[in-house]
Amino acid sequence: MKRTGMSSVFRKYLLSYVIILMIPVAAGMISYRVSLDVARNGSMETSRMLLDQTRRILDQRMAEVEGFTRQLAIHQDLNRLMGERVAADAGSTYLLWKTSRDIARFAQTNDFLEDFFVYLRNYDAILSAGAVYYRPSHYYELYHYANMPYERWIAEILEQSHQRTVIPLQPFVGARKEMSVISFVQSLPLNSFNHPPGTAVVIIDQKKYPGCWRTYPASMADGRMSSIATAARWPLRASGKPTSGS
């Protein structure tokens, strides 16, 4: 009887000690889970704030690019060249060169505008910052999208109508070096739909804002730029919005 009584008392004490020991363990587990949730939520909020800040910066810079194309649209000499209906003569050749020098000044105040060109349909020529390419093929030999044949580049970029079209990250070959770029394309004059006289293309190197472009839009809707995932493919439409890949 004594042994049975002592055993019962021992079990009671043991159970009490186990319960006492489990209380801090349980409290520690609950505290750990709460701390983990707080850290996770804080990290997500910080990431969201950084993403919003990045988007605002990129939206601002892309708005500057759009403003640049608007300046091109009202450039007097450029509009004169786009309105020409005759073959190039000596005077027009000088005007092409002069216009390329004039538009090169835009790039001096904005690093986003260092690489751009304007295609003139009537001359079948390309003006870049301080240079004139009298055949698009001459420009393509030096600067081109790595995965885009020449014929497709002509049809989808130079000759197709664009209204604030943004081309997502693409491999690009420029001046014999490879890079990843995002491109902004605008027909000239503005609101040109069928067979626009000119096309302005601004090519932006990813290295200028590394890691940011993969959350940048493939299109702009309602005049605003919103952050969406970069599309794997980018078939273009005249509206500037991407079609679904096939």
Average confidence (pLDDT) over 169-176: 84
Percent of the chain with pLDDT over 90: 21
Helices then strands, counting H and E runs in the chain, come out as 5, 7
pLDDT tens digits, one per residue of 51-88: 777 778 778 888 888 888 888 888 898 998 888 775 55
| Beta strands, E only, the chain | 116-120, 125-128, 131-133, 143-145, 165-174, 177-188, 198-205
Q: Confidence band (pLDDT; 50, 70, 90) for 246? A: very low
Nearest to 169 by CA among 179, 159, 160, 158: 179
**How does pLDDT run across 29-51, given as a tens digit for each residue?**
888 788 877 888 777 888 788 77
Q: What is the pLDDT of residues 151-167, one digit of tens each?
A: 999 999 999 999 888 88
Mean pLDDT of the chain: 76
**Residue ranges covered by each domain of the chain:** 1-246
